[in-house]
């Protein structure tokens, strides 16, 4: 018996779409690789607790049933992955929050699978994992293959971590790119970008090229006290330009960057979910699975710009 679950409240309709897309790919992956002699890993670096708690609206005034809010528990990514059949050879979860990591540990009581839980920072833990056996043999050795899920709240994935994953040439990475959080760093005038924001942008893009791509010189207003107008730089890049730049950067590391699955929060493009892979021998198979998933969920994702889940 699992005992009382730690409540981890997050997400909304977009989260269910994201997790369904991942889930479909995991089914596809495990069935495509079955009986091929691979040792498959499911690697979830921002794993949460295994559950997603959400408050749903229930009732209908037109049917004379009162509107009320009820708490529901959905499967989070870890629990969904554990239900995949055939199961992965190994499950590896990282989670920084101590209580959530403890909750992940309890999954070992419920499932017979090989489950490893690392309580720690995702980038550090991932780099440690890929620097040790069986992964450290490099791209040419070993029968290991993995799906890596990177599902941070914000801009927490380091470019160097993506470099490590790309270098394996054996992992498919589902990466939730935080478009809205990135745009939030990009002030209208370059002077509004302080050192902290610059560091965050360099960390996510792995370069400083964003400045030249997003900003251009504009004559500033002449000051009351200076005779020469001061030149400044303004942001000309639209949200779509910024998303396209991110995609171009990902293409520097991975030979396959999927079309993004847009995830809409309160009517705004908030995240993009990508599948990235450098496994050039399996690209056509990977593409087949990923493109099916992206095509399947994009219309639903675009349609649903609701604020809250309801209990239908």
Q: Which residues bind ligand SAM (CB under 6 A)?
A: 10, 19, 46-48, 52, 76-77, 94-97, 100, 121-122, 151-153, 156
Q: Which is nearer to ligand SAM, 28 or 42 (CB)?
A: 42
Contact in structure between 48 and 3 (CB atoms under 8 Å): no
Q: Which is nearer to ligand SAM, 48 or 262 (CB)?
A: 48
Tell me how long the chain is: 312
Contact in structure between 106 and 3 (CB atoms under 8 Å): yes
CA distance 226 to 70: 62
DSSP state of 50: S
Please state the φ and ψ torsions of residue 265, each to the nearest 5 degrees: -120, 125
Work out how close the CB of 150 gets to ligand SAM at its nearest, in angstroms, rounded to a whole number. 9
Work out how close the CB of 75 gets to ligand SAM at its nearest, in angstroms, rounded to a whole number. 8
Neighbours of 58 (CB within 10 A): 14
Q: Which is nearer to ligand SAM, 56 or 187 (CB)?
A: 56
Work out how close the CB of 94 gets to ligand SAM at its nearest, in angstroms, rounded to a whole number. 5
Q: Which is nearer to ligand SAM, 154 or 251 (CB)?
A: 154
Q: Which is nearer to ligand SAM, 82 or 122 (CB)?
A: 122
Work out how close the CB of 133 gets to ligand SAM at its nearest, in angstroms, rounded to a whole number. 23
Work out how close the CB of 266 gets to ligand SAM at its nearest, in angstroms, rounded to a whole number. 17
Query: What are the distances in angstroms from CA 180 to CA 129, 154, 265?
Result: 30, 9, 10
Work out how close the CB of 233 gets to ligand SAM at its nearest, in angstroms, rounded to a whole number. 31
Contact in structure between 148 and 154 (CB atoms under 8 Å): no
Q: Which is nearer to ligand SAM, 95 or 309 (CB)?
A: 95
When CB distances to ligand SAM are compared, the closest residue is 76
Work out how close the CB of 115 gets to ligand SAM at its nearest, in angstroms, rounded to a whole number. 15
Cross-strand bridge partners of residue 56: 70
Q: Pick from 273, 278, 281, 215: which is nearest to 247 by CA?
A: 273
Contact in structure between 119 and 96 (CB atoms under 8 Å): yes
Q: Which is nearer to ligand SAM, 59 or 152 (CB)?
A: 152
Work out how close the CB of 295 gets to ligand SAM at its nearest, in angstroms, rounded to a whole number. 22
Q: Which is nearer to ligand SAM, 156 or 258 (CB)?
A: 156
Contact in structure between 295 and 8 (CB atoms under 8 Å): no
Q: Which residues contact 156 (CB under 8 A, 6 or more apart)?
A: 46, 122, 123
Helix (H) or strand (E) holding 182: helix 179-185
Contact in structure between 276 and 170 (CB atoms under 8 Å): no
* CA 150 to chain centroid: 4
Contact in structure between 117 and 69 (CB atoms under 8 Å): no
């Amino acid at each position: 018996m699992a005992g009382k679950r730690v409540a981890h409240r997050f997400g909304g309709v977009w989260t269910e779409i994201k997790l369904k897309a991942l889930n479909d790919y995991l089914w596809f992956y495990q069935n495509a690789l079955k009986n091929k002699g691979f040792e498959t890993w499911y690697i979830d670096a921002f794993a949460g607790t295994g559950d997603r708690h959400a408050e749903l609206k229930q009732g209908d005034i037109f049917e004379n049933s009162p509107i009320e809010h009820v708490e529901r528990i959905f499967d989070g990514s870890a629990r969904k992955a554990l239900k995949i059949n055939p199961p992965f050879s190994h499950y590896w979860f990282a989670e920084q929050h101590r209580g959530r990591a403890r909750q992940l540990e309890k999954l070992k009581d419920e499932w017979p699978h090989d489950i490893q839980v690392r309580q720690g920072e995702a980038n550090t833990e991932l780099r440690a994992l890929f620097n040790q056996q069986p992964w450290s043999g490099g791209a040419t050795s070993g029968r290991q293959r993995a799906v890596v899920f990177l599902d941070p709240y914000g801009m927490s994935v380091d470019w160097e971590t993506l470099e490590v994953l790309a270098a394996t040439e054996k992992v498919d990475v589902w990466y939730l790119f935080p478009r809205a959080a990135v745009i939030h760093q990009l002030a209208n005038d370059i002077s509004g970008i302080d050192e902290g924001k610059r560091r965050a942008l360099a960390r996510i893009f792995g370069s400083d090229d964003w400045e030249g791509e997003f900003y251009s010189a504009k004559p500033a207003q002449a000051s009351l006290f200076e005779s020469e107008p001061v030149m400044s730089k303004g942001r000309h890049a639209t949200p779509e330009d910024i998303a396209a730049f991110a995609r171009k950067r990902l293409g520097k590391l991975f030979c396959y960057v999927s079309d993004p699955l847009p995830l809409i929060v309160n009517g705004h493009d908030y995240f993009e979910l990508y599948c990235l892979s450098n496994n050039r021998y399996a690209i056509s198979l990977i593409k087949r699975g990923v493109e099916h998933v992206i095509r399947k969920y994009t219309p639903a994702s675009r349609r649903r710009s609701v604020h809250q889940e309801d209990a239908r």
